Amino acid sequence: MIAQASTAAPLTMDQLAAVIAHDIPEGSYVNLGIGQPTKIADHLPKDESGNVNVILHTENGMLGMGRKAEGEEIDADLTNAGKVPVVETPGCSYFHHADSFAMMRGGHLDVCVLGAFQVATNGDLANWSTGKSGDIPAVGGAMDLAIGAKDVFVMMSLFAKDGTPKLVQACTMPLTGIGCVSRVYTDYGVFDLGPDGARVRETFGITPDELFAKVAALQREPR
């Protein structure tokens, strides 16, 4: 097991996006969830035409999604899952919603990166509802994405605003999917998850020992 931090300070979300982008194999079919994970696209290696080295899937029915559209490029018929206008890339394709989700559910996507409220060390994910009364429930494609890629990664801050860890022994918020997350990228470290618990791959600005003291879920049985 590693003993030292890889960096002197915790990572910003932008730096974390760059770490994730580096870990995604070239040529992968990838879905980047709404929110922080969309930043990853900015850090993916690009070819001479400025196109990224992976094929981006957007749940509303496109493979080969390009960057955000600007000015004259904006076309109301072409948006990403966050409803932001985007552009095409060479070789892109369109398909209807049932095909788009069959593509996920059928295990054809290589990597999906999602945001999270909580992740449990066994891979359970909570990212669609805080469970607070009065909130209007909205799930979108979160539950389909959670179970719909060969590798499901989470990108999140390790601690909530109140300082409590978001990597937990068992999620207390409503679940999005069970045992579905294989790796969690956070500002303080990267963790591989599985039925046997979490394994620390790397830490940022904090040593693994310091991390175990702060995150109870990590203390139990680091493999």
Partner 1 sequence: MARTSILATTDQAVAGIEDASTILIGGFGLAGMPFDLIDALIRQGAKDLTIVANNAGNAEVGLAALLKAKRVRKILCSFPRQVDSYVFDELYREGKIELEVVPQGNLAERMRAAGAGIGAFFSPTAVGTPLAEGKEERTIDGKRYILEYPIRGDYALISAHQSDVMGNLVYRKTARNFGPVMATAAVTTIVQVNEIVPTGYLDPESIITPSIYVDRVVQTEARHYTVRGAR
Annotated catalytic residues are 59
Distance between CA 103 and CA 34 in Å, rounded? 18
Pairing assessment for the beta strands 197-203 and 189-194 based on DSSP bridges: antiparallel
Contact status: 60 vs partner 1 (CB under 8 A): yes
Among 28, 95, 115, 182, binds partner 1 (CB under 8 A): 95
Q: 2, 55, 23: which is closest to 185 by C-alpha?
A: 23
Residue 121 or 203: the one with the smaller Cβ distance to partner 1 is 121
Among 36, 51, 89, 100, binds partner 1 (CB under 8 A): 100
Burial environment of residue 181 by CB neighbours within 10 A (0 to 12, 13 to 18, 19 or more): buried
Q: Which of residues 122-141 bind partner 1 (CB under 8 A)?
A: 124, 129, 134, 136-141
- At 142, is the secondary structure helix, strand, or coil? helix
62: which DSSP letter?
E
* Binding piece for partner 1, criterion CB under 8 A, among 1-9, 95-103, 181-189, 199-207: 95-103
**Is there a contact between 9 and 213 (Cβ–Cβ < 8 Å)?**
no
Among 14, 75, 210, 221, binds partner 1 (CB under 8 A): 75
Among 1, 50, 83, 133, binds partner 1 (CB under 8 A): 83
Q: By the criterion CB under 8 A, which residues form the site for partner 1? A: 58-62, 74-79, 82-85, 88, 94-98, 100-102, 104-105, 124, 129, 134, 136-144, 147-148, 174-178
